[in-house]
Structure 1
Amino acid sequence: MLRHILCAGLALSLPVTAAHADNVALPFAAKADIAAAMARARANIQPGHGTSSTPLLALEAYTAKLEYHVGPNIANAHPQQAELFQALEGSGTLITGGTIVKTATSAVISGGTARTVAAGDVFIVPEGVPHWFSKVEGHLVMISVMLPRPTESAR
């Protein structure tokens, strides 16, 4: 099911023409690839950092990565990209909206809306919306797909 969600997210966001469709190799991550990426991300978590990620797929401006969270990450917003998430394991608290406040060592969100994210959940953070995983229960593993705003020529 995860493979279908990732491929659908990439496919729905790409402009397709007859010439383009015949010349594009299908980005694909098998279950074993995802498990290996999860192991790499878990092994690469640095002391004092709550998150590690590793690339999974790329097609032009579209990318998918595996994120492994053991604590809060750095709040961010993507001005020209939406982000599609699929939670694979664990749970945590996602804050969306509000205002990003930079600290000496990180960035957090003031205000915003909190919701619990758990294995099996799928959600999209629209472009420009601040988002932050403020709390993690043990660990939270997700696949994140960046969905750039289509260019005028692709509309």
Structure 2
Amino acid sequence: MSLLLAVSSGVATASAQASGAEAPQPSGFASSADVQAQLREMLAAMKPDQGFMWRPLVRDGANVAAIEIWKKPGRPAVHPAQAEYAIVLEGTGTLVSGGALADTQVKNANLTEGSRIEGGATRPLGPGDVILVPAGVPHWFGITGERLVLLGIKLPAGK
């Protein structure tokens, strides 16, 4: 992941240098060692029966890239105004996305949960896989091993 962040920063720097403008300073950076250290800290802090933990890794104001550790599946969800982008860092699981969310409950403006997804597509997940769930699309993560670890980012719809 640090390579992705470094490459992104390098592209912005190269573009700024080519145009003669001063390169913007990155607001956050996490090396591979930083990612691994945070993951170890999170795993040590999780209670034995805890199924999910989320902790920001880097941020730019309201935009956050966070490590998500899933040990148990959550409820199927929809984020009406946010796309969800994620990279599988470790572990294995299943993504169900699309279709229709059944028995919906609005939790807040950014989250609607349901009991199941009807008619969604199922895909296996493993390290290195990249996920982009558009805003308003139902999705659910299943865990097929000990845990599924994601680097997750929510993006405003249409951006």
TM-score (norm 1): 0.74
Preserved CA contact (<8 Å) 1:63 1:146 = yes
Q: Return the offset for 1:23.
A: 5.2
User: Percent identity among equivalent residues?
Assistant: 32
CA drift at 1:100: 3.0
Question: Pick from 128, 131, 138: which aligns with 2:136?
Answer: 128
- How do 1:116-155 residues align onto structure 2 when only pairs under 5 Å count? 116-149=124-157
Looking at CA atoms only, which structure, 1 or 2, has the larger radius of gyration?
2
2:34 maps to 1:38: no
Separation in 2, partners of 1:87, 1:44: 21
**5+ residue gaps in structure 2?**
105-112
- Structure 1 unaligned residues grouped into runs of 5+: none
CA contact (8 A) 2:70 2:143 kept: no
Q: Check the 8 A contact 1:68/1:139 in 2, yes or no.
A: yes
Per-residue deviation, 1:128: 1.2
Figure out how many residues of one structure are paired with residues of the other and give that number: 145
Question: Deviation string for 1:64-102 (max 9, x for gaps)?
Answer: 000111121232221122111111111001111233345
Root mean square deviation of aligned Cα: 3.2
1:66 equivalent in alignment to 2:67: yes
Local SS of the residue matching 1:26: coil
Contact kept in structure 1, 2:67 and 2:150, CA below 8 Å: yes
Q: CA deviation at 1:10?
A: 9.4
TM (normalized to structure 2)?
Answer: 0.72
